[in-house]
Chains A and B, each alone.
Chain A
Amino acid sequence: MIEIAWNDFTPWSALLGGILVGIAAASFLLLNGRIAGISGILGGLLAPAKGDVIWRLAFLGGLICAPALWLLATDLPAIEINAGYPALIIAGVLVGIGTRYGSGCTSGHGVCGLSRLSLRSLMATLSFMGAGFATVYVIRHLLGV
């Protein structure tokens, strides 16, 4: 039986944030004609083609500057990173290789792929969500970390 963490449950801010993410992906698609896939936008910088660099940096710069923009209005919500440095490095390498190998991450396959009803993206999303659930189960409940 699944036990819900009602104290942590924030459906309205999650929905609002999700709608903003959707608006971002929608504007990128309708203005620039592209899928807002963050791993692809970042990974493309490692094998850059001519004229293909500035817009990538602009998009990633927007992501990185979002907290500064947020701070103009109000305090940032908590960012709690409990993983240690070795875990963060292993996680980062796996996310880097995996998202490139699988041609996408939560944004490209999850948000954009599911929005355009792509079966390929659905399979990718089920793969990384399934692996995410399994990994947290192993770490928290089998290893007890």
Chain B
Amino acid sequence: MKYSLASLFAGLVFGIGLIASGMANPEKVLGFLDLAGSWDPSLAFVMGGAILVGVFAFAIARKRTLSFLGFDIKMPASTHIDKRLILGGLMFGVGWGIAGFCPGPGLVALGAGEIKAAVFVAAMIAGMAIFEVIERNRANA
């Protein structure tokens, strides 16, 4: 219960931040990704602001084994840089560049009632499902 409430809170604040920052607007995102056009550097400030806070949070988390609500702190174990990481990143980046949506802003724009965002999110979930099927077949092979 506590865990889910904290999740809801984090999701809400995350979404408000995406709206305030301009990241929920794909045209703004594409303006940032368009280095050769008239470049809008705003989104670098979104990343900068988030990391500014994040660095402190992770420094605190690193010194603890339990969260403030008493849950285990789970850090990603992998430090491996492999083909999956890079190819996955490249694929994601191409999709991001086509529509201007990454997962969070897609969900926020869906919540704002944008039909096009709903189509993007449905396709994204389909893509994730394709991944699951491929992974399961690999595991069974």
Contact = CB atoms under 8 A, between A and B. Distances in A.
Given A18-B50, A24-B10, A65-B12, A92 B108 contact: no
Interface string A58-92: 11111111111110000011111111010111111
Contact of B51 (A22, A79, A103, A105): A22
A16 B20 contact: yes
Interface string B108-123: 1111111011011111
Contacts of B85: 102-103, 120, 123-124, 127
B141 interface: no
22 contacts: A5-B39, A8-B40, A13-B42, A18-B48, A20-B14, A29-B57, A42-B107, A63-B14, A65-B15, A81-B101, A82-B26, A83-B98, A85-B119, A93-B127, A98-B93, A100-B131, A101-B87, A103-B88, A132-B94, A133-B97, A135-B97, A139-B97
Contacts of B22: 10, 13-14, 17, 77
Given A21-B21, A34-B74, A118-B76, 7 more contacts: A5-B38, A22-B49, A31-B9, A79-B114, A98-B89, A135-B33, A135-B93
A24 B3 contact: no
Interface residues of B, number: 117
B116 A85 contact: yes
Contact of A64 (B53, B87, B108): B108
Contact of B117 (A17, A81, A94): A81
B66 to A, nearest CB: 7
Interface-central residue, B21, B73, B81, B127, by most chain A CB under 10 Å: B127
